[in-house]
Structure 1
Amino acid sequence: MKIAQIAPLAERCPPSLYGGTERIVSYLTEELVRQGHEVTLFASGDSTTRAELVPCCDMALRWDTRVSDPLPYYVMMLDRAMARASSYDVLHFHIDLLHFPLLRQTPVRAVTTLHGRLDLPDLRPFYAHFPHLQLVSVSTAQRAPMPPVNWAGTVHHGLPADLLPFCTNPQGDYLAFLGRISPEKRPDHAIQIAARAGLPLKIAAKIDKVDRDYWESTIRPLVAMHPNVEYIGEIDEHEKAVFLGNARALLFPIAWPEPFGLVMIEAMACGTPVIAFACGSVPEVIEPDVSGIVVRSIDEAVAAAHRAAALPRTAVRASFEARFTVERMAREYVRIYQNLAGFGAADASEGESGKLALA
């Protein structure tokens, strides 16, 4: 198949540090190429890929100090993608909603994966206005706030099996918090859990501009107050393997409808169990007492911190391999591409050879 992947421009593909959506787009793109598909990646110019790269800005917008407004770059990217749309079997968008009016007016096969939260009040009338465009959710829980729309499927995220090595014997006995400093991620709860459990906590997380005040007013003083807490900052893929692999458990004390939570399966890949609050996708991702412990209170999380070390790390890794590899993710997306409305009709004239080519 000829597939176009249209990625966000905030980070490169794959990101050098933090970046969930761009990371998944990169993993999917590389796996589709490995499986023999002809893939074009519309992304930032500093992205690295075995697919054809169409650079839509010089570098990841988050790191380009010359850029103050990302919107013009997205409009230019959409213009480039739609100009070539007829040459693809499918266009796969990962950029939320800017492209929707174009898809209603252009006869192309397209699908959009929604990577973010969908409970914001302004989104409901928007998606009600575009009820027929084909969408993919990254968890079943993510769908809950939506009006009736045209869901093409749910595809859980996946990682390359060899990306993060399995760690049989962790060298540290600490709890880990990885991701982003923000109120909905509740790093304050992570600090409280670690303090009450009497365990060290290492925090590897980025701080967005919008969350800088929260860091300065709430989290930074808590870090300074607790000698068992260490703030590391943003880390790269190599550092992530060491950071997660050597932890007793990953703390995921979220207080919002998390659409997926990539860090959970990153920890699982390392064999590190996850202690997660039962919000959003968590019950879909974590197998209780196999890959982690699902909790509903800080008291339960403190108790789980003591129990987590007893969970067999081989079982945690096995759960990852059975459910969250990039091979599985790519196969599920290919099935969705093949089932898109109009796919068979447009290829009927090609005969059986055309149908086989789509497989």
Structure 2
Amino acid sequence: MRIAQVAPLYESVPPKLYGGTERVVSYLTEELVKMGHEVILFASGDSKTKAKLIPICPNSLRFDKTCKDPLIWHLYMIEEVLKRAKFFDVIHFHTEYLHLPLATRYNLPFVNTLHGRLNLSEYVPFFKIFKNAPFISISYSQRKPLPWLNWVANVYHGLPEDLYKFKPQHGTYLAFLGRISPEKRPDRAIEIAEKFGMKLMIAAKVDKADETYFKEVIKPMLKSPWVEFIGEIGEKEKNEFLGNAYALVFPIDWPEPFGLVMIEALACGTPVVAWRCGSVPEIIEHGKTGFIVETIEEAVNFLEEVKNLNREDCRKSFEERFTARRMAEEYLNVYQRVILKEVYKRAV
């Protein structure tokens, strides 16, 4: 099968540091190549892949200080995809909504995975225009704001099975990994660590949009003796960081569409203590692979119980539910339905 994968250009595929969507696109692309499919990846020029790479811009846009308008590069990429459309059996867009006005005007065999939050009021009039296009969610929770879209499948993210090594021993610190932002609630994580009495290691990036929040809210909290801020880390450092942790603390305050860090922790055997928000109840099995909480007090109390969890159950959950092979197989099933034009029927 000839499959086009169309990635966002903000990060390389895979990203050098933070970047959930581009990381998932990389895992999917490499798995499809391994399975014998001809994959063409549209991405930034600094991407690394065994597929055929069509570079759109020289470097990922987040690290390109000369780029003043990232939108123009994405529109250019969509044009490059459409010019080659007749050569693909299926086109898989990961660019949220940018391609929809053009892709729906042509008889293109395409499908669209939505990776972001959908609970924005301005999305409603736009997506209603394109509600019959084939959409894929990354959690059932993600669908809730737009239940009337033509949801043709739900495909949970997956990781290569050998990417993270299982660590059987409980670690000695709490881990917070991802992004410093109000909706990720690192302030909650710090308060939990202080009340539980265990060191919190924070490995996170600070986007420009969140610099004020970091300086005014989080930076003063980093003076706590219970906190160590190590900044943004990449793929190579994650295994040790997550695997050696007692638990991953995931105290989000927004409808997280998926939360890749949760399955990264599970792959290492590390339990997750997470807020009951977004996709969390679909990923974490309460009392088995972690605990789902609604208050700081609950988080502190359940952290005491983490030592009684079997870390092998966490790894087993990852192997059974969240591998890249399982993800690729489910997407291939959708691609077949695209080719047979079955995805243009009502939602599954």
Instruction: Tell me the TM-score normalized by structure 1.
Output: 0.94
How far 1:103 moved relative to its partner?
1.2
CA deviation after TM superposition for structure 1 residue 109, in Å = 0.6
Q: 1:109·1:342 contact (CA, 8 Å) conserved in 2?
A: no
Structure-2 residue corresponding to 1:247: 245
Question: 2:234 is matched with which residue?
Answer: 236
1:350 is aligned to: none
Q: Which residue of 2 aligns with 1:353?
A: none
One of 289, 292, 295 as aligned partner of 2:293: 295
TM-score normalised by length of structure 2: 0.97
String of CA shifts for 1:174-219, please: whole Å, max 9, x gaps.
0000000000000000000000001100000000000000000000
Superposed counterparts of 1:67-86, under 5 Å: 67-86=67-86
**What stretches of structure 2 of length at least 5 have no aligned partner?**
343-348
Match of 1:175 in 2: 174
> C-alpha root-mean-square deviation of aligned residues, in Å?
1.0
Q: How many Å separate the matches in 1 of 2:37 and 2:166? A: 29
User: How many equivalent pairs are there?
Assistant: 342
Runs of 4+ in 1 over 3 A off after TM superposition: 341-344
How many percent identity over aligned positions? 55
Q: CA deviation at 1:342?
A: 4.1
Could you tell me how far apart the structure 2 residues matched to 1:127 and 1:75 are? 19
The one-letter amino acid of 2:73's match is Y
Structure 1 counterpart of 2:332, from 306, 326, 334: 334
Task: State the Cα deviation string for residues 18-43 of structure 1 (Å, max 9, x = none).
Answer: 00000000000000000111100000
| Equivalent-residue separation in structure 2 for 1:100 and 1:334 (angstroms) | 21
Q: Which SS does the other structure have where 2:262 is aligned?
A: helix
| Residue aligned with 1:184, SS | coil
**1:128–1:147 CA contact under 8 A, matched in 2:** no
Distance 1:342 1:160 in 2: 29
- Distance between the aligned counterparts of 1:80 and 1:193, measured in 2? 49
Matches within 5 A, 1:210-289: 210-224=209-223, 226-289=224-287
2:320 is aligned to 322
Q: Residue 341 and residue 34 in structure 1: after superposition, are their counterparts in 2 closer, same or farther (change >3 A)?
A: closer
Confirm or deny that 1:195 pairs with 2:189: no
Which residue does 1:105 correspond to in 2? 105
Deviation by residue 1:42-64 (Cα, 9 ceiling, x = unmatched): 00000000000000100100000
Are the aligned partners of 2:90 and 2:339 in contact in 1 as well (CA < 8 Å)? no
Q: Which amino acid aligns with 2:153?
A: G
Distance 1:199 1:169 in 2: 16
Distance (whole Å) between structure 2 residues aligned to residue 341 and residue 4 of structure 1: 13
2: CA distance between counterparts of 1:149 and 1:319?
30
- Amino acid across the alignment from 1:134: P
Q: Report the secondary structure of 1:117's partner residue.
A: coil
